[in-house]
Copies of this chain bind each other. A is one copy, B any other.
Amino acid sequence: MTQPNFDTLLARYADLLVHTGVNLQAGGKVRVSAPVEAAPLARLVARAAYRAGAADVRVVYEDAHLALALYEDGQDEAVSFVPEWFSREREAMMDDGYASIAIVGEDPGLLAGADPARVGARSKALAQALRPVSEAAASFRINWTVGAVPTPAWAARVFPELSPEEAVARLWTDIFTVTRADQPDPVAAWAAHTERLARLTDLLNARQYAALHIRSELGTDLTVGLADHHVWQGGAETAQNGVRAVPNLPTDEVFTAPHRERVDGWAVASKPLSARGQVIEGIRMRFEGGRAVEFSARQGEDTLRQLMATDEGALRLGEVALVPASAPVARTGTLFLNTLFDENAASHIALGRCYPTNVQGGQTPETLRAAGGNADSLIHVDWMIGTAQTDVDGITASGEREALMRGGEWVLALD
Asked whether, in the complex, the Cβ of B47 is within 8 Å of the Cβ of A73, the reply is: yes
Q: Is A51 an interface residue (CB 8 A)?
A: yes
A46 vs chain B, min Cβ distance (A): 5
A60-94 vs B: 1/0 string, CB under 8 Å? 01010110011011110110010101001100110
Q: Which residues of B contact A81 (CB under 8 A)?
A: 55-56
Q: Is A287 an interface residue (CB 8 A)?
A: no
Q: How many copies does the complex hold?
A: 2
A interface, by DSSP: helix, strand, loop or mixed? helix
Asked whether, in the complex, the Cβ of B88 is within 8 Å of the Cβ of A85, the reply is: yes
Q: Is A59 an interface residue (CB 8 A)?
A: yes
Cα of A37 to Cα of B88 in the assembled complex, Å: 27
Among residues 293 to 330 in chain A, which have CB atoms less than 8 Å away from a CB atom of chain B?
none
A258 vs chain B, min Cβ distance (A): 38
A71 vs chain B, min Cβ distance (A): 9
A20-43 vs B: 1/0 string, CB under 8 Å? 000000000000000011010011
Given contacts A47-B73, A74-B54, contact A61 B85 (CB under 8 A): no
Q: Is A112 an interface residue (CB 8 A)?
A: no
Range, interface on chain A: 35 or more
Asked whether, in the complex, the Cβ of B70 is within 8 Å of the Cβ of A50, the reply is: yes
B39, B42, B50, B92: which contacts A74 (Cβ < 8 A)?
B50
A321 vs chain B, min Cβ distance (A): 34
Q: Is A57 an interface residue (CB 8 A)?
A: yes
Q: Is A365 an interface residue (CB 8 A)?
A: no
B43, B56, B73: which contacts A63 (Cβ < 8 A)?
B43
Asked whether, in the complex, the Cβ of B36 is within 8 Å of the Cβ of A50, the reply is: no
Cα of A72 to Cα of B49 in the assembled complex, Å: 12
Q: A-side interface residues toward B, CB under 8 Å?
A: 36-37, 39, 42-43, 46-47, 50-51, 53-59, 61, 63, 65-66, 69-70, 72-75, 77-78, 81, 83, 85, 88-89, 92-93, 96
Can you list 7 pairs linking A and B with CB atoms under 8 Å apart?
A43-B69, A46-B66, A55-B81, A56-B78, A57-B70, A61-B63, A89-B89
